[in-house]
Amino acid sequence: MSDDNKPEDQTPGAYSGIPWVHVEPEVARAHPKGQLTFALRVIAGYLVVIGLFKLWVFWGAGYAPGVILLGGLLPVLAGLGLWARMPWAVVVTLVMAGFNLYAFVRNVGADPGLLLLFDGIVSVGIIFYLVEGDRPNFIYRHRYRKYSVLDGNKDGD
């Protein structure tokens, strides 16, 4: 990353104290670390597969069209968006994961089932990885942590 993409005022991150350096989307896409990792490919594939499964199950169970679209189509769109490295896909994935957690918590006392339990656990992992992971932040939010400040080097990366 070139020095002309670095802002002058880099405020420390809220949790780690390490400042974020924002770059242009084109720079992030062109950089070798701007490519999808195995974990991101697994997440995107999981979302597409589970979304198609939910579409099939919800359609067969006769759920309302809104439930079918939100419960089934949302994960498919999120997975395809993550695969295509679209920034909006992170927001859609977080909303979808929030729906999954809400459905799990709402059904805890009423025998939630293995699918809801598995989906809830996976959703928590996806949320933390997409929000806090260095690679997802670089790919989707076009920023990276400047770890060199930990060594006392405020200018270089």
Write out pLDDT tens, residues 45-63.
Answer: 999 999 999 899 889 988 8
pLDDT of 76 > 50? The answer is yes
What average pLDDT does range 143-149 have in this prediction?
82
In a domain, 157, yes or no: no
More confident residue, 5 or 101: 101
When divided into structural domains, the chain yields a total of: 1
Q: Does any domain span residue 151?
A: no
Confidence of residue 15 (pLDDT cuts 50, 70, 90): low
Structural domain for 126, as ranges? 19-146
Spatial CB neighbours of 28, under 8 Å, sequence gap ≥ 6:
34, 138, 139, 142
Share the mean pLDDT of the chain. 83
State the Cα–Cα distance between residues 81 and 64, nearest whole angstrom: 25
Which among 74, 81, 84 has a CA at the least distance from the CA of 54?
Answer: 74
Which pLDDT value is given to residue 10? 64
Whether residue 92 lies inside any domain: the answer is: yes
- Helix/strand/coil for 145: strand
Tell whether 64 is covered by a domain. yes
Considering the domain boundaries, does residue 154 fall inside one? no
Question: Alpha-carbon dihedral of residues 85, 91, 92, 93, nearest 10 degrees?
Answer: 80
Is residue 83, in this structure, part of any structural domain at all?
Answer: yes
Would the pLDDT of 65 be above 80? yes
In a domain, 103, yes or no: yes
Whether residue 107 is contained in a domain is answered as yes
Distance of CA 87 to the CA centre of its chain: 9
- pTM comes to 0.80
Backbone angles phi, psi at 5, to 5 degrees: -95, 0
